[in-house]
Amino acid sequence: MLSFFRAFLDEGNESKQTVPKYFLIMNKILVTGGAGFIGSTLTEHLLKNPENFVVVVDNLSTGHIKKLVLPQQNFKFIKADANDRKELSEIMMSWKFDFVFHYAAVVGVQRTLANPLFVLNDVEGVKNVLELSKNTGVKRVIFSSSSEIYGEPVEYPQNEHTTPLNSRLPYAIVKNLAEAYLRAYKKEFDLDFTIFRFFNTYGPKQSRNFVISKFINHALKNEDIPVYGDGLQTRTFCFVEDNVKACISAFENDLFVNDVVNIGGDNEITILDLAREIIKLTGSSSKIVHLPALEEGDMRGRRPDTTKMKTLYNKPLITLQEGLRKVLEEGLFELKYQ
């Protein structure tokens, strides 16, 4: 898995193609979407290993540079759009990465429903990453897929191999197509991949469009907490540290290569109970208000089969109460910086 690389930098040239002077490192890793919630936490953990050099590529559409408070010596940030072949090509051709984590995507139920063409354009990013990885000797592409691709739960819990993928929403279609592209590049060009299907993940750096950050944000201001429909739809929630530790374990130990694994929490809770829990933990005087159910995109239930994930990370997962306390202790990123 190790590769040594030495490169030389023209002094003062700070273009996208430049690589550090006398650059002797082990793994050159690209993280697209690395200024986002999960990508920045992943980057932070990857950098704990001094054998890794991480380049983050992010267009800062929903990400924020301040999510990356990191040591400078084995890290570089480049603002660029993964969906733009020319921009990504300049970067990938010059750096010749060993591994790519492709986490950049348009996310969020409301945002993705409101902007279907924008979302569908993310297929370009997947194609760019795979074609350039094939052409530049990348050893493995690791992709953040989503539980959304299971759609309404046909089977409980949702299993990587037996549960049909039946969502028709653009966001889920992009993830499904991306998975097909990863398999096709393996078949035709022997490019290795790992697919992580993330279920709801939360943590202090998540943006406030997502349910836990949104509810905490309202609770801290004693504002009404809006719940769509009867609130009896269920989810599991995975604290971001558990997500990242499981993914890094797969990466470092070469597990689930050319395979797919669910990454998520395993305790289900209704959205109504989640709102009540947050009100209790924050000591808020917020009231829960019911809004009309969303017309699409709000699945009745979702729970991952975590049998495969547990082979990666066999410690008890952080409970929802513990995770919520951690978010409250650290404070929501958006309340601190935006």
Q: Which residues bind ligand NAD (CB under 6 A)?
A: 32-33, 35-39, 57-63, 81-83, 103-107, 125, 144, 146, 198, 200-201, 207
- For the bound state, the minimum distance from the C-beta of residue 202 to ligand NAD, rounded and expressed in Å, comes to 7
Do 224 and 218 touch, CB atoms closer than 8 A? yes
Helical axes 211-220 vs 320-330, angle rounded to 10°: 60
**Residue closer to ligand NAD (CB basis): 106 or 261:** 106
Do 141 and 100 touch, CB atoms closer than 8 A? yes
- For the bound state, the minimum distance from the C-beta of residue 36 to ligand NAD, rounded and expressed in Å, comes to 2
Q: Say which amino acid occupies 112.
A: T
Strand 75-79 relative to strand 99-102: parallel, antiparallel, unpaired? Answer: unpaired
**Residue closer to ligand NAD (CB basis): 231 or 304:** 304
311: which residues sit within 8 A by CB, 6+ positions away? Answer: 255
**Residue closer to ligand NAD (CB basis): 25 or 67:** 67
Token pair, residue 228, equals 């769509």
Catalytic residue among 103, 150, 156, 171: 171
- For the bound state, the minimum distance from the C-beta of residue 29 to ligand NAD, rounded and expressed in Å, comes to 16
- For the bound state, the minimum distance from the C-beta of residue 63 to ligand NAD, rounded and expressed in Å, comes to 2
Residue 337 annotated in active site: no
Strand order in the sheet with 192-198: 75-79, 52-58, 27-32, 99-102, 140-146, 192-198, 259-263
**Residue closer to ligand NAD (CB basis): 199 or 284:** 199
| Catalytically active residues, by annotation | 171
